[in-house]
Structure 1
């Protein structure tokens, strides 16, 4: 049994609209028993309770990231970092891979994460020949920052038996040069054919379900958990899980190495597997549970495959693409909904949004049920009418405003005025929707304070405004990263706010949030993180 704890002298933001501010929190048996005044909190715990003097710091419910690829992020943290600005040119890329090759045994895979070639000075797409210049002694994967695309070198192609004769799969594309030769760049579902994947997912999404020889994924999760806890995160929802990830998460939980609460969104390629054995959410416990079913409508904004009604790009060169025809997506959603699943559909462009909303509405009409909580992942560019439809259908938009920082300058260049309505969180709130903030890590920063700052400021990496009228307040951002995020994974009765009876997940900021300028919030650090009423991370960890 966990020791009683008493948090005093805090600026407690509870997430409970009926009792939003307090100065003390009492914890017993891993649960919150009192939130309020110091005297009441003291009276609720034993005499030998551990007293934590918060020193006037902001005390929050444990932060929840409802769209975070936890395992993939753990693996990315152990991979070669090719993110901007560390890699800002083709020369930087070759150098980074070359340095990794020098310390990697010959023949072993090299994985790099976070490449954004739109930041390269000439914007020319990199090719396998660039990677070949770095090494021909190792197969190499370089994931695009969106994770929807990947670049491989010639040894990787040969190892997978890929030749110029390969055909594009449904929902994917192999980039070729003027002579029709493969460049090594594969988009969306084409990744399924060219990478060392361990699960064939067909055209159900981008395939980053790789397993490199000698990699201990459970150990990587255990190491990554400390990074997450240091950011104040106590719960994440992994939005793309196959049998590979489910096995690793189960192993980590069995060994006590999961580190935080994890909700899982199985990919739609497993829909029939779950239906065959009668499993639907909620399924699991407070530490590892199955949540929604993940589906894909279109591709990615930064990769040019988001499906818009009007072309985009500096020259209008992008039209976008879909993983499914509308009737195919409708069938998947109908079967998932009919089997009791909440769905979460990756949707960026307005044309894809229409397809996703049509599919959800048709499924709800065919099999009415209450409290479906269907989700739109990313919710990149919904029109005002589509936002109204989401409100009427009770759909939860799961946003990632960090994208506006990381890629906002590219969005402004490629989308023009349309960029100012990307992730229209203010409009969602005004329509009566309770949107959710998340990171999409490993695509973007996993730190919730970065996400909150991005939602409040709406500024690009270069400081340009991008949809300033869509800014939200600190309170709105906190709700979206706590209780509303908990609602999106069906756990609002146990986590997401500091209320008596709830699990004692708490994040203490090393500062005062309400006294910090929005653009400086991301610079704040956590001071302490509690999970189940136990201190799991402090600044001295």
Structure 2
């Protein structure tokens, strides 16, 4: 007999036929049966719990295939520049001053989500302006993309950043007309200081708890963590997942925001491979950065930016350096992936994957590309031939789509080409790359269907996909990207009962109503971790 029955609903199974059922039964943390309400009710006994969905959608739990758990949770404790009250630099300085009053002298005052393109002044705050908020604390204001920051004088001092310091490889120190650092740190320059500003273990534990609770509220049952502060952070994810502080199943990429090659080499020396772990935590692919931010913009392109004929972006590794790191990783059984947004970066990663597979054939390597923003038609075909899984970010279109059109011109219409992936059998996922964009899966689904920017312009109508295709990207395809499709990703008998129950039917909602849909209940392994009606998060 079943432990819990869900009846009279809209059950989106995401099985091979995209069938829609009415009801399911779960027992011992797994899906016991799927069918009609009458069929499922026959499985109850006197102790079974019965939930009447009353037409609401029940679907597989969302698998967020690229998310920065620690960074997001830590950001919640900082000043959010996405707060509608922050419309100008004086607004930001006021919030930073308020934060400084609550932070012990000498500790970091942090802000995140800054976007100079929508702030009143259209620029970053200067070092001097940040000094006016507090000169007793180091201050770091991180751009929404996570690749650029503005810091005050004390922050520059901690980083040893002076007039005479040269730009680090792969980065830039912003300077005023007088040659003095103006507080802006771009790419590697930002990453280097960001590592020095790392959080304590206690702060990270709090960040993980906050992030997990927030993710559960949006129906997220598994996360592919896209790295944070290095080896200690990866192991903190493992510890907190196994302790239940992080409720979601964790598939952790092995790398770091700064000097990821060193982290990859560390793990290659260990007796660990992709997939090692347990139901709570598994090691995922090794990961590095090949280029920069799509909205910065600092992605590495083969043709110059439409907005700047001299700009081709930045890149971090040569082809030889990438081959030397990743081909041995592939040989040892690791899945490999890289942050590759521009078409030149995508070329580079696909070249390495092709070489690795020729030298050491593997029938099911499932190597990935994180983002693959400016993927060309030939890239899609190569991904198909090489069995590569891309992780596109259609949630970006809402916040950054207008900038994409400005910086990349017609190329932007083919960014994150979900329709092309679907038509060519490339199992792309969906992800918001949180905290770069809103992690609410409804925003990602809406972005995949509409590709609509804030101005209302559609960024590439030809690459729009259907609702069911978008849901498949967030569930079954995402499970596949982490070798988990036999256990999660669909509502099928025998699979883990990782489930999201929506507050209405998503199939009968019009496109813009999707953004208003909430999650009523999130279940992981048969256990409720979020119940909106009870307004509690249960461990």
Q: Write the distance in 1 (CA, Å) between the matches of 2:118 and 2:412.
A: 18
CA contact (8 A) 2:380 2:424 kept: yes
**Residue 86 to residue 146, structure 1, CA distance change in 2 (3 Å):** farther
Which residues in structure 2 correspond to 1:96-245 (within 5 Å)?
96-197=95-196, 210-212=197-199, 215-241=202-228, 242-245=230-233
CA contact (8 A) 2:127 2:153 kept: yes
1:368 equivalent in structure 2: 361
CA contact (8 A) 1:82 1:96 kept: no
CA contact (8 A) 1:453 1:520 kept: no
Q: Write the distance in 2 (CA, Å) between the matches of 1:262 and 1:63.
A: 13
Q: Write the distance in 2 (CA, Å) between the matches of 1:255 and 1:432.
A: 38
1:262 equivalent in structure 2: 250
Find the residue that maps to 1:433 and give its secondary structure. Answer: coil
Q: Which has the higher mean CA deviation after the structures are superposed, 50-59 or 166-175? A: 166-175
**Residue 219 to residue 194, structure 1, CA distance change in 2 (3 Å):** closer
**Residue 118 to residue 485, structure 1, CA distance change in 2 (3 Å):** same
CA contact (8 A) 2:168 2:188 kept: yes
**Residue 243 to residue 46, structure 1, CA distance change in 2 (3 Å):** farther
**Residue 353 to residue 84, structure 1, CA distance change in 2 (3 Å):** farther
Q: CA deviation at 1:85?
A: 4.7
1:204 equivalent in structure 2: none
Q: CA deviation at 1:119?
A: 2.0
Find the residue that maps to 1:92 and give its secondary structure. Answer: helix
Please tell me whether residue 349 in structure 1 is matched to residue 342 in structure 2: yes
Q: CA deviation at 1:375?
A: 0.8
1:394 equivalent in structure 2: 387
CA contact (8 A) 2:371 2:391 kept: yes
Q: Write the distance in 2 (CA, Å) between the matches of 1:20 and 1:190.
A: 50
Q: CA deviation at 1:443?
A: 0.9
CA contact (8 A) 1:89 1:117 kept: no
Q: CA deviation at 1:255?
A: 3.1
CA contact (8 A) 2:4 2:26 kept: yes
Q: Write the distance in 1 (CA, Å) between the matches of 2:113 and 2:306.
A: 21
CA contact (8 A) 2:6 2:23 kept: yes
Q: Write the distance in 2 (CA, Å) between the matches of 1:20 and 1:86.
A: 45
Which residues in structure 2 correspond to 1:23-62 (within 5 Å)?
23-62=22-61
Please tell me whether residue 413 in structure 1 is matched to residue 406 in structure 2: yes
Q: CA deviation at 1:223?
A: 2.5
Please tell me whether residue 247 in structure 1 is matched to residue 235 in structure 2: yes
Q: CA deviation at 1:45?
A: 4.6
Match of 2:461 among 444, 455, 468: 468
Match of 2:278 among 264, 282, 285: 285
Q: Write the distance in 2 (CA, Å) between the matches of 1:228 and 1:192.
A: 26
Q: Write the distance in 2 (CA, Å) between the matches of 1:440 and 1:368.
A: 31
Q: With structure 2 as the length reference, what TM-score do the two structures score?
A: 0.94
1:67 equivalent in structure 2: 66
1:203 equivalent in structure 2: none
Please tell me whether residue 454 in structure 1 is matched to residue 447 in structure 2: yes
Match of 2:351 among 347, 358, 361: 358
CA contact (8 A) 2:161 2:181 kept: no
2:506 equivalent in structure 1: 513
Q: CA deviation at 1:409?
A: 1.2
The Cα offsets for residues 249-281 of structure 1, whole Å up to 9 and x where unpaired, read as 233234321111111001143222222222111
Match of 2:314 among 314, 318, 321: 321
Q: Write the distance in 2 (CA, Å) between the matches of 1:480 and 1:213.
A: 35
The Cα offsets for residues 481-508 of structure 1, whole Å up to 9 and x where unpaired, read as 0011000011111111111111101101
**Residue 432 to residue 420, structure 1, CA distance change in 2 (3 Å):** same
Q: CA deviation at 1:324?
A: 0.6
Find the residue that maps to 1:501 and give its secondary structure. Answer: coil
Q: Write the distance in 2 (CA, Å) between the matches of 1:215 and 1:181.
A: 36
Q: Write the distance in 2 (CA, Å) between the matches of 1:328 and 1:27.
A: 49
The Cα offsets for residues 365-416 of structure 1, whole Å up to 9 and x where unpaired, read as 1111111111111110111111111111111110111111111111122222
1:205 equivalent in structure 2: none
Find the residue that maps to 1:370 and give its secondary structure. Answer: coil
Q: CA deviation at 1:176?
A: 1.6
Please tell me whether residue 383 in structure 1 is matched to residue 376 in structure 2: yes
Find the residue that maps to 2:227 and give its secondary structure. Answer: strand
Find the residue that maps to 1:168 and give its secondary structure. Answer: coil
CA RMSD of aligned residues (A): 1.9
Find the residue that maps to 1:117 and give its secondary structure. Answer: coil
Q: Write the distance in 2 (CA, Å) between the matches of 1:459 and 1:94.
A: 32
The Cα offsets for residues 271-304 of structure 1, whole Å up to 9 and x where unpaired, read as 2222222211111111111111112111112112
The Cα offsets for residues 289-346 of structure 1, whole Å up to 9 and x where unpaired, read as 1111112111112112101112215343532010111211222221221111111211
**Residue 301 to residue 19, structure 1, CA distance change in 2 (3 Å):** closer
Q: Write the distance in 1 (CA, Å) between the matches of 2:18 and 2:386.
A: 29
**Residue 439 to residue 160, structure 1, CA distance change in 2 (3 Å):** same
Q: Write the distance in 1 (CA, Å) between the matches of 2:368 and 2:239.
A: 28
Q: CA deviation at 1:34?
A: 0.1
Q: Which has the higher mean CA deviation after the structures are superposed, 145-154 or 101-110? A: 101-110
